[in-house]
Structure 1
Amino acid sequence: MDQTTHDPRVHIDRIVDTLLDSVRRVDMRTFADQWAPDGVMEFPFAPPNYPVLHGRDAVWDYVKDYGASFRIDEVTEHRRHHTTDASTVIVEFSAKGVVRQTGNDYTMDYIGVITVGPDGIEHYRDYWNSLAAVSALGGVDALRTAFGVDAQS
């Protein structure tokens, strides 16, 4: 029996590689498809009342218009930290591009704490710099609009 076939770290690395590649290509359908049907995505450093996404469909709804808001020129992985829990990895990466509506440069550093199960991402904590996003997009309202977030959320 091939040991790597059942190694959870190989499974998680494939999912992380697919996530980063999908952001590079702005293929957000593939990005969202990495979530388990009931997986969660949350943004601990987001502005107040920013939503927590519950389920693959909610992730898709959140990211589906990403390409309309951002032109991504480069995604660079800086570090990948496997944890003592084989189902969890921490990924440090950056994205560079342009905000389409403003023409402003978009340079964002991310830290993702990702827990993966057999059906995909079970929990993704996205530690991004909301102030940098607000600045590049032109304000909190523009951030909410770019990601389809209702101001009352």
Structure 2
Amino acid sequence: MTPEDLFHQGLRLLLDKDIDGWVALCDENVVIEFPFAPDGYPSRLEGRAAVADYMSDYPDHIDLQDFPYLEIHRTGDPETVITEMRATARVVSTGTPIEIPYIVVMTARNDRIVRYRDYWNPLAMPASMSDAKS
């Protein structure tokens, strides 16, 4: 499976609210980073168990509905892709619709995500999300 295929599969799982399936795409020693994480949110997760814990209640907070903009760029490293995307969703607790822009740098090896840097914009999140899991 190419990194592009793996990324697409991950998006389908997120839209299906299959968090366990998304986590299963990760290598046991995956590193996930959030370089722009606001105070109170983790900036780095190490290992599949940490990712599973962090993601476990994601659908309780954010209802992902679509990725209307998605562009995947290949890099000089065949294992790494850079993705520009925008998600549409709603905040579960309030029903507030949101759009979340992302840039993701993902490295995959042996059909698993080994590194995932998620440059999401924390300013896109409404204040009602301040009680979300951190």
Same fold (TM over 0.5): yes
More helix by share: 1
Q: 2:8 aligns with which of 6, 17, 25?
A: 17
1:82 positional shift: 0.4
Q: 2:118 aligns with which of 126, 138, 149?
A: 126
CA RMSD of aligned residues (A): 1.7
1:77 positional shift: 4.3
C-alpha distance in 2 between matches for 1:125 and 1:13: 15
Q: Which amino acid aligns with 1:90?
A: I
Q: Which blocks of at least 5 consecutive residues in structure 1 are unaligned?
A: 1-9
Instruction: Answer whether contact 1:109 1:129 (CA < 8 A) is retained.
Output: yes
Q: 1:97 aligns with which of 89, 103, 108?
A: 89
Q: Which has the higher contact order (CA 8 A, sep 6+)?
A: 2
Instruction: Answer whether contact 2:83 2:105 (CA < 8 A) is retained.
Output: yes
Number of aligned residue pairs? 133
C-alpha distance in 2 between matches for 1:47 and 1:11: 32
1:64 positional shift: 1.3
1:62 positional shift: 0.9
| 4+ aligned runs moved over 4 Å, structure 1 | none
TM-score normalised according to structure 2 size: 0.89
TM-score normalised according to structure 1 size: 0.79
